[in-house]
A and B are shown apart, each in its own frame.
Chain A
């Protein structure tokens, strides 16, 4: 039997399908990593960046990991930009964390504030694992790490949360 020729033209599904399938998880992931206030902007930036690159994709087999790669990078960009941004004078003095997380915090917000305080890789891996219900294979594909590293990132993140949680 002749070797099956791999077509160079990938048959990509209509982009709307990605949005329908993964939009909610991507948004939850972004709320977890950048906070509720910035999540909406980050979400739009993620999908516009993905849409821009989409027709040139050469592999249409793992679109979920791909869209999380885009979201992960946007989240990191956002967090770095925010750290560089000067604190607005006179804006909600004394409670910088309230300014970052926005609306009144629910009890859960404690935990999420701590998640957002984790190092980039731990925060991303943890959010993908628990918020987007991703497997380690997906996390490693999205973050460009090995599966072992993905597992380790989640493990380290949990360990850190345990020591800091509700102290």
Chain B
């Protein structure tokens, strides 16, 4: 082996890097540049992606319900800001409240919400949904009425189906007029689990 080969080989093997890279999210937050912080967390209804902005909780996504982490993050980059960073410590408060909720120890979320991913009628439907108390339910028609147009219950259904903050904005509390489950973005099984957590027992057997 010539000296040149030896040098090139040593250069290629590189200066040894540490196993863990320095954290960037804390420095980014300190500089006021952390527009969207996210983390994934485990829950009884599967892995959740949770994202906050300086205003509050902006997105909560079920990762296996046809949504990949990458596509959720791309949406956030396109609609909120491309300054999207994994920052588990920024998500401590949502994690704590969600854990308490699933353990049956929290009836109301106190997290500030960032509503910017919704607007117009859909926003009003979701705001009305957020006022339904723990353990209670309402019909699609009722929330449509609360949002200003009782006949627009189909539009209300669409708004609930694209709820950017499920669980915390409790779209699982909206049922069909006859007491049927209706639909749910994360799948009906999740809707049942969430209603069960809240002790709702009025569900008709399928």
A44 contacts the other chain (Cβ, under 8 Å)?
yes
List the A residue with the shortest CB-CB distance to B15.
Answer: A31
Contact B83 A28, beta carbon cutoff 8 Å: no
A135 contacts the other chain (Cβ, under 8 Å)?
no
Contact A43 B28, beta carbon cutoff 8 Å: no
B103 contacts the other chain (Cβ, under 8 Å)?
no
Residues of A within 8 A of B4 (CB): 158, 162
Q: Size band of the B side of the interface? A: 35 or more
Contact A13 B22, beta carbon cutoff 8 Å: no
A111 contacts the other chain (Cβ, under 8 Å)?
yes
Residues of A within 8 A of B27 (CB): 44, 47-48
A55 contacts the other chain (Cβ, under 8 Å)?
yes
- Tell me the bound Cα distance from A111 to B12 in angstroms: 12
Q: Which of B23, B33, B73 contacts A14 (CB 8 A)?
A: B73
Contact B15 A15, beta carbon cutoff 8 Å: no
Contact A111 B7, beta carbon cutoff 8 Å: yes
Contact B84 A14, beta carbon cutoff 8 Å: yes
A61 contacts the other chain (Cβ, under 8 Å)?
no
Residues of A within 8 A of B15 (CB): 28, 31-32, 36, 108, 112, 131
Q: Which of B18, B22, B82 contacts A15 (CB 8 A)?
A: B82
Contact A130 B82, beta carbon cutoff 8 Å: no
Q: By DSSP majority rule, is chain B's interface helix, strand, loop, or mixed? A: mixed
- Tell me the bound Cα distance from A36 to B22 in angstroms: 12
Residues of B within 8 A of A19 (CB): 24, 85
Chain B proximity of A132: nearest CB distance (Å):
9
- Tell me the bound Cα distance from A32 to B70 in angstroms: 32
A99 contacts the other chain (Cβ, under 8 Å)?
no
B78 contacts the other chain (Cβ, under 8 Å)?
yes
B14 contacts the other chain (Cβ, under 8 Å)?
yes
A82 contacts the other chain (Cβ, under 8 Å)?
no
- Tell me the bound Cα distance from A45 to B173 in angstroms: 47
Q: Which of B10, B17, B38 contacts A27 (CB 8 A)?
A: B17
List the A residue with the shortest CB-CB distance to B34.
Answer: A51
Residues of A within 8 A of B1 (CB): none
Residues of A within 8 A of B21 (CB): 23-24, 27, 43
Q: Mark A9-29, 1 if CB is under 8 A from B, else 0.
A: 001111111010001100110
Residues of A within 8 A of B7 (CB): 111, 158, 161-162, 165
Contact A15 B84, beta carbon cutoff 8 Å: yes
Contact B33 A130, beta carbon cutoff 8 Å: no
Chain B proximity of A68: nearest CB distance (Å):
15
Q: Mark B105-138, 1 if CB is under 8 A from A, else 0.
A: 0000000000000000000000000000000000
Within 8 A of A (CB), among B1-35: 3-4, 7-8, 10-18, 21-24, 27-28, 31, 33
7 closest pairs, A vs B, by CB? A130-B11, A14-B84, A12-B82, A31-B15, A14-B73, A14-B77, A47-B24
Task: Tell me the A residues contacting B by CB distance below 8 Å.
Answer: 11-17, 19, 23-24, 27-28, 31-32, 36, 40, 43-44, 47-48, 51-52, 54-55, 106, 108, 111-112, 115, 126, 129-131, 158, 161-162, 165-166
